[in-house]
Structure 1
């Protein structure tokens, strides 16, 4: 066992943030949270456990990134008029390089280090259409002990040579990779995600095959993109005129269920949100990417109103930062401009600091179907946590020093924080 004494942030069963100003986190030999709470109440019970005292620091759950592209590290910040030109001019040319195992391995190692430097301890990430890219990511994550969910990107049409699949082989490769990697790792932390890039790049045969695999392996995840960009939506309508919506395409092929995560989900109507809720699917909200590519704004108010599962994601490289602080701040901006229309009235929803933090940790874990496993520091959770320094910069120290309550403290970190705040990242195996 080991223990850590500092201010301790976690979430209760209702999703409310709880802060013990002098807290104790106890980790058992299996890397699980054995106790978490007020130091004065717990100290006699764990007096025999070696304790690291961290005055002035905050222990918080490791962040969860619901959607990111590890092969897009080197196209982050590339200028483009929108999603489709960005894919054509930057993304596809870069992803061709991942046919090489060595290139994939080097990028995967860098990617995982960057996640950890920013306090992310669980990530759902795209690979490329190359098997080498998937193997490289899983191997690097296994070495690091990081919880990674990934999968081979499937796309057998409407994309260039070098990234385009052969339909039957792509499905054979997917099943082989599921059997090789899902549930494996030093602590069983590696997960497989069936990964259609998006409906326009997948033929009916490929979509049908993925649906069959999803039914055969109900414990694996599904990840893709939906309703990100108006031009993309128009394209899907041309390709699938028989379906009621872009989201309905995935549903028809059996790719909308529990443990399916759909990035963006911006241009939804009430029927789409109802369908997401009915299927227990979740949206990965990517505010920095949506703003950068001019795709539109996710409507937090309508998502909350219809109880649609959702959480925050970086979407690097369309997203502009790995930092959860940057993502939470962007989500705050978006929430202040998004609204719910009811007749002639509009009701805006401004996310609170506690809600923003929850959406990037315990809420994102819930969206993944990993509630009680990651994203929180309650008893039984994996002891994936970060040690935050609220005095990491002079301005941050000045502002957090004046915080009068938890909301002010968290908001100062969100607005002024970056990777310098992350003093240490601990994984359940480290």
Structure 2
């Protein structure tokens, strides 16, 4: 098969490392750059004046003006079955689950119900510039089959798992330890490593799993060491107290998961707001990661994530929308709220750190930075074009922005899905704002 090479010209930014550690050495910025993609993979990136002369005569250069090319956003925690209940009023975590989440998720045992919702969900991700996500299904295997079927067609890199939940939930949403093991194992065999798809062992959170079920989750991780583990941790103070009552033999919330063998480099814990130093240290020791979910944490009144503490303990942190407790699919909106949370903590979140969290930081948290997250040679060419003129207000504000650092900040405070002009998956156009079709859901 002959090589297919494409080139994309415009203002380009990507990260090589964490700006909190390496400052200006952490990123590359090309005011007039070219990204070269061959067969869906990055061939090179650099200044247009250096690359143009190296391109074969038949390579078409697609130019993007008045915008910024960056790697696709990575969402490290989101629930696709909760899309239709986003913006549900007035509860904190535990009451919110009972009032809204469980009734909604009970419908996903019907694959014909799940399929159009998986399609709509993935469309929303691409519309918002998210090209990789770590996704909760429901307790029903059908929910995962529906999701992966659609994700495979779109050729996106996605991670998903069936919820494991054998107590403290409605009868129509519980399984058993053995059932959860058997169904998860079958889904792993069917989907994990198929194309760009990955499986995540997914106990909902400690209160809805017995020790027997958590042991089964640990068994799956031993049998399939390259799958992911995805759950919730220390999101809400009442939740933390409940965990202490349910597992009195454990030192703390994280220790519940630790005692069942669930901490590893591919373990991602959503939230992690109310942690002690011993828990931070243990996360660091095991290379486990945290997902920072700003819009959800504020919407449910859960608390203010301590990003600086996670950095102090050298814990990988990615950004999560946590739809449907989160109020937007847009990682730009997540960054908007993340900045405000750090302000309330008396701390600063820089523009560079923000966009690192949404791209390479998320890829590192998911242990996928060998495949996605920046424009290093050989990486998968998932990227987006952000429009500096997406709204009248954005255009006026950008006219008064002095450099790329300020433009990033404007994108993260004024931006949403309208700022995502185009989304590319493996170098192929997957979303074009100008030719967007209205979903039938």
Shorter chain as denominator, the TM-score bin is over 0.9
Partner of 1:342: none
Alignment of 1:36-185 (within 5 A): 36-48=45-57, 49-185=59-195
CA distance in structure 2 between the aligned counterparts of 1:38 and 1:310, rounded to whole angstroms: 30
Contact 1:196/1:224 (8 A) holds in 2: yes
Partner of 2:251: 244
For the pair 1:317 / 2:324, whether they are aligned, the reply is yes
Aligned CA-pair RMSD = 1.0
Alignment of 1:231-380 (within 5 A): 231-338=238-345, 348-380=346-378
Partner of 1:341: none
CA distance in structure 1 between the aligned counterparts of 2:318 and 2:161, rounded to whole angstroms: 20
Partner secondary structure for residue 322 of structure 2: coil
Partner of 2:386: 388
CA distance in structure 2 between the aligned counterparts of 1:223 and 1:193, rounded to whole angstroms: 6
Please give the per-residue CA displacement for 1:138-187, whole angstroms capped at 9, x wherever unaligned: 001001111110000000011002111122111101011101100102xx
CA distance in structure 2 between the aligned counterparts of 1:305 and 1:400, rounded to whole angstroms: 34
Mind listing any 5+ residue stretches in structure 1 that lack a counterpart? 339-347
Partner secondary structure for residue 173 of structure 2: coil
Partner secondary structure for residue 318 of structure 1: coil
CA distance in structure 2 between the aligned counterparts of 1:13 and 1:242, rounded to whole angstroms: 39
Q: CA deviation at 1:374?
A: 1.1
CA distance in structure 1 between the aligned counterparts of 2:255 and 2:378, rounded to whole angstroms: 37
Partner of 1:419: 417
Q: CA deviation at 1:14?
A: 5.0
Contact 1:126/1:153 (8 A) holds in 2: yes
For the pair 1:205 / 2:212, whether they are aligned, the reply is yes
CA distance in structure 2 between the aligned counterparts of 1:86 and 1:314, rounded to whole angstroms: 17
Partner of 2:37: 27
Contact 1:6/1:22 (8 A) holds in 2: yes
CA distance in structure 2 between the aligned counterparts of 1:33 and 1:429, rounded to whole angstroms: 9
Q: CA deviation at 1:380?
A: 1.5
CA distance in structure 2 between the aligned counterparts of 1:299 and 1:57, rounded to whole angstroms: 32
Q: CA deviation at 1:208?
A: 0.5
Partner secondary structure for residue 349 of structure 2: coil
Q: CA deviation at 1:379?
A: 1.4
Correspondent of 1:408 among 398, 403, 406? 406
Q: CA deviation at 1:311?
A: 1.3
CA distance in structure 2 between the aligned counterparts of 1:364 and 1:160, rounded to whole angstroms: 33
CA distance in structure 2 between the aligned counterparts of 1:206 and 1:12, rounded to whole angstroms: 40
Please give the per-residue CA displacement for 1:316-374, whole angstroms capped at 9, x wherever unaligned: 00000001111001111111223xxxxxxxxx431101101100110010010011311
Please give the per-residue CA displacement for 1:371-420, whole angstroms capped at 9, x wherever unaligned: 13112122111100001111111111111122112210100111111111
Partner of 1:8: 12
Contact 1:372/1:378 (8 A) holds in 2: no
Correspondent of 1:218 among 225, 247, 257? 225
Q: CA deviation at 1:47?
A: 4.4
Contact 2:328/2:334 (8 A) holds in 1: yes
CA distance in structure 1 between the aligned counterparts of 2:322 and 2:396, rounded to whole angstroms: 32
Q: Which runs of 4+ in 1 moved over 2 A?
A: 12-18
CA distance in structure 1 between the aligned counterparts of 2:18 and 2:100, rounded to whole angstroms: 42
Please give the per-residue CA displacement for 1:70-112, whole angstroms capped at 9, x wherever unaligned: 0001111101321001000100000000000011101000000
TM-score after normalising by structure 2: 0.93
Contact 1:65/1:360 (8 A) holds in 2: yes
Q: CA deviation at 1:17?
A: 3.1
Partner of 2:198: 191
Mind listing any 5+ residue stretches in structure 2 that lack a counterpart? 20-25, 429-441
Q: CA deviation at 1:19?
A: 1.8
TM-score after normalising by structure 1: 0.95
